Amino acid sequence: MVRRAGCPVLGGSFFGQSGLSMPFPPSAIVATASEASPSATMSTAAALAPLFTLRRIRLRHNPPFMADKPRVFSGIRATGDKTLGNYSGGYRQYAATQESGDAFFCIVDLHSITTPIEPADLREYTLSGAAMLFATGLDPERSTVFAQSHVVAHAEAAWLLSAATSFGELRRMTQFKEKSEGQDFVSAGLFGYPVLMAGDILLYQTEIVPIGDDQRQHLELTRDVAERFNQRYGDTFTIPRGVYPEEGARIKNLQEPERLMSTTRGAPQGVVRMVDEPDVVRKKFKTAVTDSETEVRHVPETKPGISNLLEIMSVATGETVADLEKRYAGSGYGQFKVDVGEAVVALLAPIQERYRELRADERELQRLLAVGAEKARNASEPTLEAMYDRMGFVKPEAGRFFGAARPRGL
């Protein structure tokens, strides 16, 4: 019997529940991984292309939980237009994460209703967010990609954990203070946001949480709540660790290189959207702001525009900034800007093709999400059951109903 280290509750029943009482032959895992994982030196565009073809995905019902790899959980907000900044700081990292961990990627739609959102927008952002995750390289067979609302355990866990979270702790959260300030309607959900997030993470016995720096306080709270629960009710949760991206590798607006690339703020002409047509992309790079010198060098303090373009080119081609500086030594800005634009067009082309195909095929998208939800349900159930049990809830003898089963044919 394989046991996941640092996973106090699950012990034997975990793999039993997921239909895996025998360890999966390691050779099979290695073969799949080496077939599909691109060599680290390949360009990102080239690396993504052969990952998988949507039509040909074959899914195992109960894929092996990778006992030798750390459990990774990431929650992704469902938002509108996705930019090259989201790609650099998010999607690209998720695809890399799936190589190194037993990864769960959850589109956190339940979190979306903590601030006002139109129902039609929530629906669109959830589906387009899922399509973009698959289009940028998440492989539904190796990773677990799902919508939070499809796995009822998340809402339940949040309620149970709210008993181990204090009003004072939540009141101190800076994100709550920022988002509630000056609003005439502040939802109770916004206040409880971090508890729902703690549930997301703890349900999966997560070891590693790749997360933005702005979420540090929420992760610390998650650890505190987990420790408190463990103390009160007995060891139940793995204490997760946050992994924060390095500062600096964040793409800026092409027109205002001192601010991050985002669709909500900054000149739209400087924002490259993941779905921009090639000619639109080319034009945005041609008109990107630079400086009055001529040297292509990475000096963010004095040459923010050119430094940003160098970073973007590095993201698009996989080459290092230092190598790019050498290649463009003495060549002037004009050609460099054209080349960065072309590199980004080449990066986006296969992503856009897969995205369009998948976004247009809602049934296939639903099928992929159903597969993810089923895997997530299997993985979270033992933890949720242990939570109920240890807190003293009567176990229903007829069995608990854990969400919907996957309908036939999906």
Give the binding site for ligand TRP (CB under 6 A).
73-75, 77, 108, 111, 197, 200-201, 209, 211-212, 215, 218
Nearer to ligand TRP, 183 or 331 (CB): 183
Pick the closer one to ligand TRP by CB: 210 or 341.
Answer: 210
Report residue 138: phi and psi, to 5°. -70, 130
How near is the Cβ of 201 to ligand TRP at its closest, in Å? Answer: 5
CB 229 within 8 A of CB 164: yes
**Nearest CA-CA partner of 379 in 127, 67, 133, 160:** 67
**136, 94 Cβ separation under 8 angstroms:** yes
Provide, rounded to whole angstroms, the least separation between the CB of residue 111 and ligand TRP.
5
Nearest residue to 351 (alpha-carbon basis) of 165, 75, 83, 77: 83
Q: Which residue is nearest to ligand TRP (CB)?
A: 75
- Closest distance to ligand TRP from the beta carbon of 197 (Å): 4
Q: How many angstroms separate the CA atoms of 107 and 133, rounded?
A: 9
User: What are 177's two structure tokens?
Assistant: 């203070």
- The tokens describing 238, both together, are 């793995």
Of 241 and 286, CB closest to ligand TRP: 241
- By beta-carbon proximity to ligand TRP, the closer residue of 111 and 142 is 111
User: Is the Cβ of residue 47 or residue 197 nearer to ligand TRP in the bound state?
Assistant: 197
Distance of CA 402 to the CA centre of its chain: 25
The distance of closest approach from Cβ of residue 331 to ligand TRP in the complex, given in angstroms and rounded to an integer, is 39
Measured from the CB atom, the residue of 73 and 94 that comes closer to ligand TRP is: 73
| Pick from 159, 147, 170: nearest CA to 76 | 147
DSSP summary character for residue 274: T
Token pair in block for residue 302: 């004095």
Cβ at position 221, least distance to ligand TRP in Å: 11
In the bound complex, what is the minimum distance in angstroms from residue 212's beta carbon to ligand TRP?
A: 6
- Nearest-approach distance from CB 92 to ligand TRP, in angstroms: 16
What b-and-e string marks burial along 180-205, b requiring 16 or more CB atoms within 10 Å of the CB?
A: eeeeeeeeebbbbbbbbbbbbbbbbb
| Crossing angle of the two packed helices 362-391 and 153-161, in degrees rounded to 10 | 30
The nearer residue to ligand TRP, 150 or 337, going by C-beta atoms, is 150
